[in-house]
Amino acid sequence: MTTKFLVSIGLVVGLFAGGACGITKPASSTTSLGQDAAVAGTGGADGGTAGFAGAAGAGGNASADASVDTALVRVAWASINKQSAAWYATSEAAVLADNIIYYQNVDGGWPKNIDMTARAAAKDRSTIDNNATTTQMVYLSLVYGATKTSAYADAFNQGVDYLLEAQYPANGGWPQFYPTVTLAYQKHITYNDNAMVKVMTLLRDIGNKATKTQYSFVDDDRATKATAAVQAGIACILKTQIETNGVKSAWCAQHDEVTLAPANARAYELISNSGSEAAGVLQFLMAIDNPSAEVIDAVQSATAWFDKTQIKGIRVTEVADATQASGKDVVVVADPAAPPLWARFYDIATDVPFFCGRDGIKKATLAEIENERRTGYAWYGDWPAVVLKQYASTWQPKWAPGKSVLSVRTTTPDAGATN
């Protein structure tokens, strides 16, 4: 696998506020450097971004043109992979599949934050952020299974090739964007919003096509490469687990693609142990059958860290507040009966939660950052709760019998339960 990036001119307009960004129309175009027109393609008839997609996308499906009646698509974009098996054989499903091919870039990937039930939004560069590429691939596999339309299998396989090409050959990680980046952090190994975990989960299933028959149409060569990519990704996860004073803990939302060290992303996403993304990484590791000693150690260490850093006795709630421009606020209040929560970010050295606004300065409490960030980002959550239950009920008895790292908490860290 050869990995290269195309450094581009311009800024990303309208950086999205939260970890789960809304579906939006890209506000500007970006010109790529170092990529000739034959490779980059040209913007489609919709005025799409030059250098990202050809007029019909990478699939080359003749039916994937702007004349298709996209009004036939009534299913919500967020639910496209949750329909009945029979639905994927319908004309509505086929129109949506053609829309997805329309938005596929010539590199084989897809852009993010576009509701592809219609073709109103401009095309954009390929990414694995915010469920992009993996969502489209899963959908195409379902429609191909129901229709056997070769264009859908072809587009899916080009997506496989994109994911394999985007992986760093030196360390097994995946960047947030590939091949075109506009901001330095987009080259980082990206656990943020479970991007890398979702890629690895899909590739794992492709490699296991004998049992995951949804992907049985994938050729053996791609399936073998998918399995190898997952193994390289697991090695990357093990190498990036944070260690402080000889004790392993969790993972940052992103890691430097060269040094593998924890790395900053946006101004309010500083180097930290992540209470959110690390839970997704841990859950992936726990799904490995016959885990190696290294994987078992990583799971034990991360589980112990999550057990140690859970926050009891607080509740986080959204309230109406007419004094705020947003008309609302998010407050942290004491509640002895509340279930455990975890902070999004923990200081690596101290395990103390912190919060950060767009000024990039760490704050001790959520109340200290601006209302826009306070209400527009997931600062607390119960992300690891289901993973810890899985650990206690099935994983630990099977893979680490008699070695549970869970304990009964008797103290609560000061996480800023005042506003």
Domain-embedded: residue 54: yes
Same-domain check for residues 156 and 142: yes
218 in the same domain as 93: yes
Whether 388 and 348 share a structural domain: yes
Q: Is residue 271 part of a domain?
A: yes
The answer to whether residue 375 is domain-embedded is: yes
Q: Is residue 210 part of a domain?
A: yes
Catalytic residue among 130, 131, 192, 194: 130
Same domain membership, residue 381 and residue 287: yes
The answer to the question of residue 80 being in a domain is yes
One domain, residues 213 and 339: no
Q: Are residues 261 and 284 in the same domain?
A: yes
Residues 58 and 122 occupy one common structural domain: yes
Q: What pLDDT tens digit does each residue of the chain (419 aa) get?
A: 444 444 332 322 233 333 334 553 333 333 222 222 222 222 232 223 222 333 233 333 334 444 556 678 999 999 999 999 999 999 999 999 999 999 999 999 999 999 999 999 999 999 999 999 999 999 999 999 999 999 999 999 999 999 999 999 999 999 999 999 999 999 999 999 999 999 999 999 999 999 999 999 999 999 999 999 999 999 999 999 999 999 999 999 999 999 999 999 999 999 999 999 999 999 999 999 999 999 999 999 999 999 999 999 999 999 999 999 999 999 999 999 999 999 999 999 999 999 999 999 999 999 999 999 999 999 999 999 999 999 999 999 999 999 999 985 433 444 444 44
How far apart (Å, rounded) are the C-alpha atoms in residues 267 and 276?
A: 18
- For residue 125, indicate whether it is catalytic: no
Distance CA 125, CA 51 (A): 8
Q: Please check whether residues 188 and 44 belong to one and the same domain.
A: yes
In this structure, is residue 414 part of a structural domain? no
119, 125, 222, 266: which is the annotated catalytic residue?
266
d(CA 116, CA 59): 15
> At which of 240, 258, 291 does a domain end?
240
Residue 219's CB: how many other CB atoms inside 10 A?
12
210 and 320: one domain?
Answer: no
Evaluate whether residue 404 is within a structural domain: no
- Euclidean distance between CA atoms 119 and 92, whole angstroms: 14
Domain boundary among 240, 269, 298: 240
315 is catalytic: no
- 73 and 23 within one domain: yes
Instruction: Tell me: do 65 and 166 sit in the same domain.
Output: yes
DSSP per residue over 249-268, as a string? ----SEE-TTT--B---STT
CATH number at residue 267: 1.50.10.20
What three-state secondary structure class fits 66?
Answer: coil
Give the range of the structural domain holding residue 46, as residue numbers without chain letter.
6-240
Q: Is residue 158 part of a domain?
A: yes
DSSP conformation letters of 170-204: TT---BSB-SEESSGGGGSEE-GGGHHHHHHHHHH
Question: For the chain, how many structural domains are there in total?
Answer: 2
Same domain? 24 vs 153:
yes
Q: Is the peptide bond before 291 cis (omega within 30 degrees of 0)?
A: no
